[in-house]
Amino acid sequence: MTSILRPFLGSVLLSVCSFAAEAELPLTPAQECRPRLGLPNFLAKVQTPGAEVKIGYLGGSITAQQGWRPKTLAHFQAAYPQAKISEINAAIGGTGSDLGVFRLKQDVLDHQPDLMFVEFATNDGGASPEQIYRCMEGIVRQTWRAFPKCDICFVYTLTESAAPAMLKGSFQRSASAMEKIADHYGIPTIHLGMEVARLAKAGKLEWKSKLPKTDEEKKALGDKVVFAPDSVHPHVETGHELYLQAIVRSWAPIEAASKAATPHELGTPFIATNYESAKLLPITEATLSSGFKLLDPKTDPFGKSWAKRMTTLHQGTKPGEVISFKFKGTRCAIYDIVGPNCGQVIVTLDDQPAKIVPRFDAYCTYSRLNTLMIGSGLTDAVHSVKIEIHPEQPDKATILAKNKNTIDKPERFDGTSFYPGAILLVGEIVK
């Protein structure tokens, strides 16, 4: 998949590829909490009077919601009033661990976390187990190399399309893959959807519905719980409350498993090709033709709106403008923005045939973060990259129609813009 950003998708893309992948990976028996080695460093610090404690939340749109993230933060603040607990909100809707591992340093580690929750089971639904291993292990090893005392907890969310395995007593495939990494490093895991699955199996859950408002609607619902408006993103009042309670229930066994606080050590990797060396580099590491303009967050409103994620966001508008660079490594992508006025680019990697890649899709009624994949699973050698703005716009009306969207104002959708902000690299830039 070219796009890492999958709006409102999460598990919607699970279906075919997910079930095929399940045959490759034995599914883990469902269990709400596996405490493993617990969270000893966090628990020691959070019980220290006056300690400033930061909790990082790295995840997708379910974490970005005003749901389990702020709910758990408030719970911890009430449970440990002696400490000053704050959050690092590193959630970006529609993104999986394949972007998380690259943006980890900028979005979480640079803020010095004491505990990090990682939530990618839903958006990793279509990824292969090997890809999940590389990314999740990369997140763990990057974190502990930079902050050995930062504890980590994997949390898994549930959607209707990912529920069949849970209804049979097993984790979905993505969570099962993540359990391999958690086992290897002794990381506690919490499946936030165990109670959701129990209610669904008992016929007491509405996966997709509006919350009842009138007495008549509440009576018709009976003892059922309405989980989400779209079967993916829980209602704050119901589905996210179930997620919160899963963490609350899991805290006692995690506390019991937490022994003396000690720095985490990095032993032998679970998979040698993990993305511990993944990095996010400013797009200025590449050579940009003169038509590319820096969208300075101090003076440009569009640049300012993305400054938290991209400090060197550029815009190219004219066909023929080029970005080029060389790197030595195994994986490379461009962190960019797609939106109504975007076009398409011609991507050339080494001496391979050039390919045309749209920077516009069926969700482009608004601008959002995205990723342009250059190459993955490459030989660890020097590679050359050239990206050129294509002179023709993609058929935007037809593309939007795939998601039942339309062009509201033609002038808003007119353009061949390309918005590169960073290079996502497993390897090093070669000058």
CATH at 378? 2.60.120.260
Is position 315 within any domain? yes
pLDDT digits (tens, 9 = 90+) for 17-61: 333 344 478 999 999 999 999 999 999 999 999 999 999 999 999
Same domain, 33 and 173: yes
Stretch 92-110: mean pLDDT: 96
**Percent of the chain surpassing pLDDT 90:** 94
Helix, strand, coil proportions of the chain in percent (round to 5)?
30, 25, 40
Same domain, 190 and 294: no
Model-level pTM greater than 0.85?
yes
Q: How confident is the model at residue 10 (pLDDT cuts 50, 70, 90)?
A: very low
Average pLDDT, the chain: 94
- Considering 205, 222, 257, which residue would you say is the last residue of a domain? 257
CATH at 36? 3.40.50.1110
Contacts of 239 (CB under 8 A, 6+ apart): 67, 196, 225, 226, 227, 228
Q: What pLDDT does residue 24 have?
A: 73
Same domain, 104 and 32: yes
More confident residue, 216 or 1: 216
Residue 14 has pLDDT above 50, yes or no: no
Is position 267 within any domain? no
Same domain, 299 and 404: yes
Same domain, 286 and 233: no
Same domain, 103 and 252: yes
C-alpha distances out from residue 155 to 32, 73, 122, 390, 410, Å:
10, 15, 10, 41, 43
Same domain, 224 and 284: no
Is position 219 within any domain? yes
Residue 5 has pLDDT above 70, yes or no: no
Is position 383 within any domain? yes
Helices 15-22, 173-185: inter-axial angle, 10-degree rounding: 50
DSSP 8-state class, residue 170: B
Number of structural domains the chain divides into = 2
Is position 136 within any domain? yes
Question: What range defines the domain where residue 294 resides?
Answer: 278-430
Same domain, 231 and 285: no
Q: What pLDDT does residue 271 have?
A: 96
Number of other residues whose CB lies within 10 A of the CB of residue 376: 13
Residue 67 has pLDDT above 70, yes or no: yes
Q: What pLDDT does residue 22 have?
A: 43
Same domain, 222 and 321: no
Query: Maximum Cα–Cα distance for the chain, whole Å?
Result: 69
pLDDT digits (tens, 9 = 90+) for 193-246: 999 999 999 999 999 999 999 999 999 999 999 999 999 999 999 999 999 999
Same domain, 327 and 371: yes
- In the chain the first and final C-alpha atoms are separated, in Å, by 29
Q: What pLDDT does residue 94 have?
A: 87
* Closest by Cα among 171, 167, 197 to 182: 171
Same domain, 238 and 295: no
* H or E element, residue 249: helix 239-257
Is position 270 within any domain? no
Is position 227 within any domain? yes
pLDDT digits (tens, 9 = 90+) for 167-195: 999 999 999 999 999 999 999 999 999 99
d(Cα 154, Cα 185) in Å, to the nearest integer?
A: 11
Is position 133 within any domain? yes
Same domain, 107 and 235: yes
